[in-house]
Amino acid sequence: MTRSEVYDALRVWLQSHGFDVGYRVQKRFWNELEGTEGERYLVIQQNGGGNPEEAITRDFFRILVLSGQNDSDINEVEDRADAIRQSMIDDYQTECIISMQPIGGITAIQTEEGRYLFDISFQTIISR
């Protein structure tokens, strides 16, 4: 399974739960597009590797949930991050991902541009 296929599986999982509605979904890096200051983003990033075994790989990822600049409803954005984290616990399986286990809570950061960023870190078990 290639890294791109894992990113695609995570994107499909987000879409299957409707978490992508109202958000621009990106992989690897957050790239703010011109004229999208008020839009929200979901960014899927690898966050380190784990131990490969014969049939599985244990890799770490994170999903960044970003508000729009000076967003008027930060609670809605934080609630979306929490819903994503809860779904990882309750309904995590995809074609290739056997498990998504959140690591710790959701870290919140405010950017210089006036966005709020909520960081959901998790470990995956991926069928090879």
Pair 4, 44: CB distance under 8 Å:
no
What is the H or E stretch that residue 46 is in? strand 40-46
What is the H or E stretch that residue 58 is in? strand 56-66
SS3 119: strand
Question: What digits encode the pLDDT tens for the residues 60-116?
Answer: 899 999 999 989 899 999 999 999 999 998 876 677 788 889 999 999 999 998 999
pLDDT score of 56: 72
pTM above 0.85, yes or no: yes
pLDDT score of 117: 96
As given in the structure block, the two tokens for residue 59 are 């890799």
Q: Where are the domains of the chain?
A: 3-127
Question: What digits encode the pLDDT tens for the residues 41-64?
Answer: 999 998 876 666 666 777 889 999
CATH class, 3-127 region: alpha beta
pLDDT score of 69: 93
Pair 107, 66: CB distance under 8 Å:
no
